[in-house]
Amino acid sequence: MKSSIKLSFVAVLSIAMLTGCGKIVESTLKNNPDIIYDALKKDPVKFMDALNEAARAAQEAKRADAATKEKETMEAQFKNPAKITVAADRAVEGKADAPITIVEYSDFQCGYCGRAWATVQELKKEYGDKIRFVYKHFPVTGAPMSTPAAEMFEAIAMVDGKKAYAFHDKIFADQGKLRSGGEKYLKQIAKELLGSKADQVFKSRSSDKVKERLAADRAEAVSHELSGTPAFAINGVFLKGAYPIESFKQVIDRHLKAKN
């Protein structure tokens, strides 16, 4: 009986530790220094079961708390949208007067970004001219071709914005080819899309303009407290992650409803 009580108490302590109740844990262990050791020694299986259950409970609590905070942040952004810069000379997909602008911060070698690309393709089909799409660079994976691909996109965009998005789609349609083909594959796509103009692209890839654009995108992502990819700003309301299409539609439809 005493062992059971101690184990239950250990579970409570574990939850407290995992959920950040540091002072309670510190005080309890200070007054009962042998409680964890005794419980582990008497019944290690029950101890670990209790600890694992505590960990699961703590993680569920954290997820619930994160979901609540995200919802609160989103509601605040509907009232006061995040300010996203779209330069006049930026390659943009869609009409300038589209009621919905989706800005993506992405990494060409991020697997989750590949999933998100497929979702965005579906959104474009469903909403058509109502969506304007802007691709921004936030290569955070550390993968070797992330930044070279971003540079190539911007260099192509300096020649032809539509071809830049054709390049974008080719990369995300089969990211494995970028991983295996590397620099050779990037140049191959550029030549297929631009022909003789590809030489101009190869020269401008290392230009200050391309470097400045990538640096500006990163700085903007950091300013919005982004730490991973993909992240989307839909008329200034963020969805951080490869969300299912239903989540995008909820935000888009709410914006459209507000405009009518």
- DSSP characters for 78-97? HHSPPP----TTS--BS-TT
Q: What percent of the chain has pLDDT over 90?
A: 71
Q: Is beta strand 237-240 parallel, antiparallel or unpaired with respect to 231-234?
A: antiparallel
Question: 100-259 is classed in which CATH architecture?
Answer: 3-Layer(aba) Sandwich (3.40)
Which pLDDT score is estimated for 99? 97
CB 135 within 8 A of CB 114: no
Across the chain, mean pLDDT equals: 87
Number of residues assigned to the chain? 260
Question: Burial, 251: exposed, middle or buried (Cβ in 10 Å; 0-12, 13-18, 19+)?
Answer: buried
Q: What percent of the chain has pLDDT over 70?
A: 78
CATH 3.40.30.10 domain residues, the chain: 100-259
pLDDT of 191 above 90: yes
Which comes out higher in pLDDT, residue 63 or 200? 200
Question: CA neighbours within 13 Å on the CB side: how many for 44?
Answer: 1
**Residue 138 host element (H or E):** none
Token couple for 195: 């022909």
pLDDT of 19 above 60: no
Token couple for 252: 């888009």
pLDDT (mean) for 31-54: 69
Which comes out higher in pLDDT, residue 260 or 204? 204
Q: 215, 200, 216, 258: which is closest to 234 by C-alpha?
A: 258
Which pLDDT score is estimated for 21? 56
C-alpha span between 72 and 163 (Å, rounded): 39
pLDDT of 79 above 50: yes
Q: Which residues contact 66 (CB under 8 A, 6 or more apart)?
A: none
Question: Burial, 237: exposed, middle or buried (Cβ in 10 Å; 0-12, 13-18, 19+)?
Answer: buried
φ, ψ dihedrals at 191, nearest 5°: -65, -40
pLDDT of 210 above 90: yes
CB 91 within 8 A of CB 133: no
CA angle 66, 139, 119 (to 5 degrees): 65
Which comes out higher in pLDDT, residue 193 or 38? 193
pLDDT of 203 above 90: yes
